[in-house]
Each structure stands twice: as C-alpha cells, then as structure tokens.
Amino acid sequence: MQNEPLTVRRRDLLSLIGTVAGSAAMYHTMTALGVASESRYTGPIHLDGDAKGASVLVLGAGLAGMTAALELRDAGYKVLVLEFNDRPGGRNWTLRGGAIFVELGGFKQTCAFEKGLHLDPGPWRIPYHHRALLHYCKRLGVALEPFVQVNHNAYLHASGAFGGAPQRIRAVNADFQGQISELLAKVANQGELNQAVSVEDKEILLLAFKSWGALDHNYKYREGLIASGYRGYAKPPGGGLSATPLPSEPVALSDILKSQLWRYFWNFARYELQTTMFQPVGGMDMIGKAFARELGELIRYNAKVTEIWQNDSGVTVTYVDANNPAQLQKVTADWCLCAIPLSILSQLPINVGAAMKAAIDAVPYGASVKVGLQFKRRFWEEDDAIYGGISYTDLPIREIGYPNTDYNKSGRGILLGAYLFEDANAFEFTAMPPDERVARAVEFGAVIHPQYRTEFENGIAVAWHRVPFTLGCSGHWSKEARKQHYRNLCGIDGRILLAGEHVSALPAWQEGAILSSLDAIARLHERVVKP
C-alpha cells in the first residue's frame, strides 16, 4: 500500500486548496484552470393578463411590500398598503441628526449627528449581483456610489496576538496567501501529482500560485520586494535620492494560524460580500423614500395591524391608527400580501391553515446591534490612511466600519463603531441601555484606534430585538425548519400569501425581500387571471 502512487484528481486538488487556503484561493485557481462560472439575472417581472379589478391589501411598507404594491398597481390591481411606522422602508432605515427613536423598554434616543452625517442601522450595502434591487434603484432614480467592503489598509485585530496590536489586512492576507501558496507549490511539484494532473495543468497551477502568493523564482515566499509589493514596505518607494524601497518582514504562518486572524478572510471571499458593492448616495433610506414617492397615497402610515381574517370572498384586516388609537379601523380586499416580519405576525390573530401557521411560528429572529459614533475629525483617514472599508476584531464590537463618502474632508465624521450579528455579544449588548452600548463601543474601539479617547463626541445604538416594528434583525432559519416549513410559508393560503426576506434563501438581504415579493405576486397574478 505504501508504494502505491498517490492520485490527486483536479476536483480533490481544488477542494484541498479551498479547505486550506479559503475560497479566494480556490476561485483564483479555478479561474486559472478555466472552470469558474457566474450566475445570471432573469430581468423585470411581467404580469400579463387582466387583473379583473381585483384588490390587494399589502401589509408592511418595507421593500417587499412596496415592490408588490408597485408591480400590482402597474398591472391594474387596486392596492392599499398599511404601514406600522410613520415612514416607508421598514428596516431600510437611516438615522440622521434630530431623529428620535424609542426602543422597547422605553429608552429614548435623539440622534445628535451633525447635519450631513448619518447611520444605516439596518442594511448598509448592496452586492453587485443583487440585480433586482439594482433594477429598482435605476427605475426609481436612486443614485448609487461604491461601498468599500475590502480595504487592505484597514485592520485585523486579535486581543491575544501580536501584543494586542492591530495588523493591516494587506500584510496578514499577503503573508497567509504567500506561505500557503509556497506549501501548495511544493505539493504541485511532487511527482505523485503527475498521474492525475497534466504537465500543462501543473505549470498553470505553479504560475497561479506564484502570482497569487507573491512567490519568488524558487516558489518561496520570503522577505523581499516581491512580497512587499503585496503586503506593504518597511519603507515605501519614494522620489529622488530616497526613492529606493525597503522590504518588510513577513509574519510567520504559525503566528497567523495561532492568532486566528485568517478567520476574517471570509468577509472578502464570500459571494454575497464580493466587490463591487454599492450604497445609495445620502443613506440607505433613499431607496424606501423613492418607492414611497412612486406609490404616494397608496401607503397608509401609522397603521398597526391587530388582526387578519379571511373567508371565501376576501380578507379583512383590523388595525389601529396611531393618530386615532381609540377606534379600531377595518379594511377589506380580495387578497392580502403580508410582509410583516414573522416575529410580529406570529403574535397576531390570523386564520390561516395549520401548515402555514406552524411555518409562521417556526422562525426565530436573529439578534443584531449597530452603534454609530460621531468624532471631531476623521482621524482614521488623517492618521491611519483608512478610506472606507471595515476593520475586524475579536473584541465584542466585532467590526468598525469607515464611511465611504466625503473622503479627505475636514471636520466631523461617523464610524460604525460596532456591528454585532447573531452571537452572544449581540444578546449582551441588546440587554444594555443604549448609552452603555455606546460607552462600550468607545471603550473597545479605543483598543484599535486610541484616538477615540479624545475625539469622540456622541453616538446612537440600535439593538434590533428592541425595535418595535420587527423585534429582531431577520429570519433565522435552521436547516431542519427550512426543510419542514419553508414551502408551506411560501404557499397561498386561501386569499393570503407572504413575502419578505424571511420568505427567501437570502435572509437579512434586501434582495431576498424583493425576490420573495416578485415570486409571490407572480403566483397570485396567475391565480387571478386563470379562467
């Protein structure tokens, strides 16, 4: 057995690369071998046929609800949207100076940001392949600008490594890639691969590793100008007599592995986080506002739904008008598309079948917290040369997001001082009063940026489990729950059907909300026009 040749198939080699070096390395190799591919977008919806004057009640003026309302209206339906808040957008939400937010428990926050500064407490970025959302931005005239997901000059930070000092992403990434590439090049050069990988493929692989890993002519990753061209220099190239650069010293692979900084690389490699990414100019709520301008008086705000009841002829929804809470209001339509988050809907009386009710009750909502911090100056740019992007840390704040606008501008600026998502820290921060969340974000952030201590001015913190209109960040499907309940959640139950990010394979993304809505109204329209 020991003398039998080791056979490594192309698929196994790619799997090995993906396991050891991550999906970025695997994709790079796949591209070199010509086996990578991309997905396709099918285009806008077309609701052809006679709507027969049918009416539809849409519950929730988030992106799912407003997408449905827009397309159904254009197809000839009579549409009314009931929205809990006094604004459109739902989780498509932006906080600016003067905004007042009261969370569950009665904690009231007034945003004190300077005019022109803002925080998106919900969605804050749009991937390039979220084509449905991009379609509506174009259709509704929402201007977009780049969102910097990967900034190689931002930081990775591990409390117990490198003396607690943050490391530049470019250096850690280059050192990891380089030393992994060196190991893989050694494997590719071994004779055992010859029977499974052609000579041509092996040469391509070695070239790919050399390029991707900044290896020298001996396929070594070492201190020198080649590696420094990726990780950065001890003395960067200059001009005149001081032009000659000096190479920097790589960090040993064992130190990177022990620090676990490599675990943040998925933020650069995952499909949904790959560049190019976008954000609306002026804040994420520009999308919700654009939908609302188009829909106009079809949206009825301050309408808190209290009951949803259907029979063979239609659906009746009872709601409370926040401006006249003493008297219950009722509206009736032929159909109801409900985009209310399941965390809320599961608490409302609704007469749907047992299968759909079980599905509504089966999906808990994830915890998430965002903290926005205003500083006297943009020290991250002036002192640290960080323009946009995200730094990652194992401290409870998890992420620091840098603004992607007003680069190199004097004056105040906003940082996303903490972004906690579905972990123990998110629940811990949720349990804190808002002012304590802000104080902790400043305390932990100062470990990465000591300037926090002298430059901080004010902040605001949103814990999504305490947000009254959603009671959580997004639907958190388990594999078992999705297998058992998802199709039932998507079904048309009598005259009621659901939409929202929770009715998609893209939970927590606006694209998921829109795609779920388009799918739902296509099936509804088919039923309406069917003879």
Structure confidence by residue, pLDDT tens digits, 404-436: 999 999 999 999 999 999 899 999 999 999 999
| 307 plus 244 within the same structural domain | no
- Those residues whose C-beta lies under 8 Å from the C-beta of residue 455, and which sit 6 or more positions away, are 375, 376, 377, 379
DSSP assignment string, 12-72: HHHHHHHHHH-HHHHHHHHHHHT--------------S--TT-EEEEE--BHHHHHHHHHH
Q: Are residues 326 and 448 in the same domain?
A: no
CATH of the domain at 407: 3.90.660.10
| CATH number for the domain harbouring residue 173 | 1.20.1440.240
CA distances to 178, 347, 396, 407, 427 from 437, rounded to whole Å, are 39, 29, 11, 27, 11
98 or 211: whose pLDDT is higher? Answer: 98
Question: Encoding tokens for residue 28?
Answer: 């790079």
Give the count of domains, the chain: 3
pLDDT (average), residues 215-225: 92
Give tens-digit pLDDT for 349-398. 999 999 999 999 999 999 999 999 999 999 999 999 999 999 999 999 99
Residue 481 sits in the same domain as residue 355: yes
Quote the pLDDT of residue 28.
43
**pTM of the entire predicted model:** 0.87
pLDDT at 262 over 80: yes
Q: What is the pLDDT of residue 187?
A: 78
Amino acid 17: pLDDT: 52
Chain mean position to CA 185:
35
Least confident of 41-45, 49-53, 429-433: 41-45
Domain membership of residue 357 (yes or no) is: yes
* pLDDT at residue 317, rounded to an integer: 98
| pLDDT band (50, 70, 90) for residue 197 | low
**Is 163 inside any structural domain?**
no
Name residue 147's beta-bridge partners. 277
Say how many C-beta atoms besides its own lie within 10 A of residue 8's C-beta. 19
Tens digits of per-residue pLDDT, 116-159? 999 999 999 999 999 999 999 999 999 999 999 999 999 999 99
Average pLDDT over residues 466-470: 97
Residue 240 lies in a domain: yes
Q: What is the pLDDT of residues 499-530, one digit of tens each?
A: 999 999 999 999 999 999 999 999 999 999 99
241 vs 343, more confident = 343
> Is the pLDDT higher at 260 or at 24?
260
CATH value at residue 516? 3.50.50.60
Q: Is residue 262 part of a domain?
A: no
Report yes or no: 288 and 88 within 8 Å, Cβ to Cβ: yes
24 and 75 housed in the same domain: no
Domain coverage including residue 495 = 55-89+285-363+475-529
SS3 119: strand
460 shares a domain with 385 = yes
Same domain, 382 and 455: yes
**Mean pLDDT, residues 68-76:** 98
Query: What pLDDT score does 192 carry?
Result: 56
pLDDT averaged over the chain?
90
CB 213 within 8 A of CB 221: yes
Residue 211 shares a structural domain with residue 184? yes
Does residue 159 lie within any of the structural domains?
Answer: no
Q: Across residues 165-173, what is the average pLDDT?
A: 96
Q: How confident is the model at residue 238 (pLDDT cuts 50, 70, 90)?
A: confident
In a shared domain, residues 494 and 402: no
Q: Is residue 50 part of a domain?
A: no
